[in-house]
Amino acid sequence: MIVKVCLQQVELFPGDSGCQRGHTWGFLMRMLSLFCRAVSFTLLLIPFAAHPQNQVLGEVQLVGKTKADKTSGVWVDGQYVGYVKELKNDKKLLLLPGEHEIAVRQSGYTDFTQKVVVEPRQKVVLNVTMLKDPRANFPKVTSQIKLQVTPERAAVFVDDAFAGNVSEFSGTRRAMLVSPGKHRIKIALPGYQAFETEVNLLERQKIAIKTDLVPGSITQAGPSIKPD
């Protein structure tokens, strides 16, 4: 877009001397030049501001009612992306158009799996309902594992089963209850190297696991996070 400005010299102050008129006219010309530059810059920005973002991607919004629904882990096409409650705002789930498989998992519950078709610039709302697994066995005597790990949104796996996210098992009066004996603990998150350790717990024993995940490639997150 081209803006043309036509100027016509007028005598603003008839009683002023030629020198005064020249200074006044020069000042006005400089101000007008600055104004025209500002207008031109604004016009250049309009196409970018008016052009919607994410023209290709669609959104899948996950909605859960219970604590189990909200804290369950989410896998898209076999890759872990986070837990239900956090996948919104700057972490909202944006996917390429087409069919995707959404799997939601939580220890002690049956997997919630559903296929969705994502359209460009459209939102799909998926209501997540986690049902208790009747085959799950909960120990009568437990041991406790407290986590002090960053980032706190990292996924926690016990014996390869998703147990929750770090924030659920850290802080005051929060800990992960497991049966006594040997367990494999894995803490992983896309974009970080997975942390793995093995513990051998006595009855009612309490331990703490402290670590900071090291940034790394998605290929270093391990098979629990990414597809094999």
The predicted pLDDT at position 46 comes to 43
**Which token pair is 179?**
């049966």
**Which token pair is 94?**
């944006």
Give pTM, 2 decimals: 0.69
- Distance between CA 202 and CA 179 in Å, rounded? 9
The string of DSSP letters for 118-137 reads: E-TT-EEEEEE---B-TT--
Q: Residues with Cβ < 8 Å from 197, sequence gap 6 or more? A: 184, 185, 209
Inter-CA distances, 166 with 74, 196, 202, Å: 15, 14, 22
Q: Give me the percent of the chain exceeding a pLDDT of 70.
A: 72
Burial group, residue 125, by CB count within 10 angstroms (0-12, 13-18, 19+): exposed
Residue 173's pLDDT band (boundaries 50, 70, 90)?
Answer: confident
Mean pLDDT of the chain: 81
pLDDT higher than 90, residue 224? no
Q: Is 168 helix (H, G, I), strand (E, B) or coil?
A: helix
